[in-house]
Amino acid sequence: MKILPGPASKELGEKIAKLLGTETVPVFSKVFPDGEFYVRLEGSVEGETVAVVQTTGPPQDQRLIQLALIVDAVRRNNARRVIAVVPYLAYARQDKVFLKGEAVSIEAIARMLDAAGVDSLITVNIHEKNVLTKFPFPAKNLSAAPLLAGYFKQREFRDAFAIAPDKGAIEMVQEAAAVLGCEYGYLEKQRDRYTGLVSIKKKELDVKGKKAIIFDDIISTGGTIVVAANLLYELGAIEVYAACVHPLLIGEAEKRLREAGVKEIVGTDSIPSLVSKVSLAPLIAQALREL
Ligand code: R5P
């Protein structure tokens, strides 16, 4: 197997290759004056299984096109098999028709990757993993929740309480609580489909005097965590922390979280950022080993 670190996940791809003790295939990429991308492989992939590591965080559309072009180049240079390793799979939140007339964006993206030549896909904490069964190729979802929880465990978090901001994140929180050996619970979040505004139903939770750690797949605008943190402080939590797999942190998200009293934000290198304190490399390397 060879690893091809795409322009969006260069460091992560190299870390994975190092853990696997395998060669990387360099790729040259540039942008034409009109904004179009160009890619060229600078190593051989002939007869190889190639794992293309490319996350698709902002700017999502550009990252997706780069991925499709790289996969096409790998395919036409006679690779045996192409595995797309896409830690953050863009458009996964639009996984059904919520309002009449909408697209199911993630299904369109999967068809695009299939047409480019992807044989199988590995992603991490996709918003709703059931959607992967609708992909035209085999797709696997990994969970980084134990790694994120491990970060807190190493810091000897006592009196922790793991919390999901909505029922969708409950599996993540159960995995995290198992590592931390702590209690867990979930909040009931609602998002207005037209305004995007988030509200959380008040409920009793045994967080009084505890350090609450909110686990979620994505922090985008920070709206979800801010509302959850406010409620947790209201319920008596002494400190609130936020852990996420994909720290998109759009605009002033980080500032909003700090202003809401979030003590620390912990993310992974799914999206390289200042809060990417946990690497996905061991998780992905293990998944590739098991293929
Ligand atoms: C949605 O349900 C996701 O799990 C996240 O909670 C959401 O994407 C976070 O977005 P934001 O940070 O904008 O509230």
Order across the sheet with 49-53: list the strands.
2-5, 49-53, 81-86, 120-124, 139-142
Which whole number is the average pLDDT over 57-63? 97
**Token couple for 96:** 């059904």
Ligand 1 centroid – CA 169 distance (Å) = 10
What are the start-end ranges of the E strands in 7-67? 27-31, 37-41, 49-53
Amino acid at site 263: K
Instruction: Render pLDDT for 196-225 as a digit per residue (tens, 0 to 9).
Output: 888 888 788 899 999 999 999 999 999 999
Given a cut of 90, is residue 154 above it in pLDDT? Answer: yes
pLDDT above 70 coverage of the chain, percent: 100
| Res 62 pLDDT > 80 | yes
Give the integer Cα–Cα distance in Å for 177 and 70. 39
Answer whether 222 contacts ligand 1 (Cβ < 6 A): yes
Mean residue pLDDT across the chain:
96
165 preceded by a cis bond (ω within 30 of 0)? no
The yes-or-no verdict on residue 25 having pLDDT over 80 is yes
Instruction: Please tell me if the CB atom of residue 224 comes closer than 6 angstroms to any atom of ligand 1.
Output: yes
In the block, which residue shows the tokens 């002033």?
A: 252
pLDDT at 280: 98
**If you take atom 5 of ligand 1, which residue's CA is the nearest one?**
218
Average pLDDT, integer, range 35-40: 97
Element (H, E) at 114: helix 105-116
**Ligand 1 centroid vs 222 CA: distance in angstroms?**
7
pLDDT attached to residue 158: 81
pLDDT for the residue numbered 198: 80
pLDDT in the model for residue 252: 97
Predicted confidence at residue 229, as pLDDT, reads: 97
What average pLDDT does range 182-193 have in this prediction?
A: 90
Q: Is the CB of 267 under 6 A from ligand 1?
A: no
Q: What is the pLDDT of residue 137?
A: 98
- Identify the CA nearest to 5 among candidates 50, 69, 62, 72: 50
CA nearest to 86, candidates 42, 129, 52, 40: 52
Structure tokens at 139: 């797709």
CA distance 39 to 45: 15
- Regarding the beta carbon of 56 and ligand 1, being less than 6 Å apart is answered no
Give me 9's structure tokens. 């996940």
The pLDDT value recorded for residue 157 is 82
Mean pLDDT of 94-108: 96
pTM of the model: 0.95
pLDDT at 145: 98
Question: How far does residue 189's CA lie from ligand 1's centre (Å)?
Answer: 10
Q: What's the CA gap between 269 and 279, in Å, rounded?
A: 5
Distance 165 CA to ligand 1 centre (A): 9
Q: What is the mean pLDDT of residues 33-53?
A: 98
Bridge partner list, 288: none
Q: How far is CA 118 from the centre of its chain?
A: 19
pLDDT at 189 over 90: no
pLDDT value, residue 141: 98
Residue 5: the pLDDT is 98
Cis amide linkage into residue 59, ω under 30° from 0: yes
Residue 59 pLDDT grade (very low, low, confident, very high; cuts 50, 70, 90):
very high
Question: Residue 75: what pLDDT?
Answer: 98
- What average pLDDT score do residues 130-148 get? 98
pLDDT of residue 221: 96
Q: Can you tell me whether residue 8 is helix, strand or coil?
A: coil
Using the atom order of ligand 1, give the atom closest to the CA of residue 198: 14
Contact 183, 157 (CB under 8 A): no
**Predicted pLDDT at 199:** 83
Is residue 216 within 6 Å of ligand 1 at its C-beta?
yes
Ligand 1 pocket member 254 (CB < 6 A) = no
Evaluate if residue 58 carries a pLDDT over 80. Answer: yes
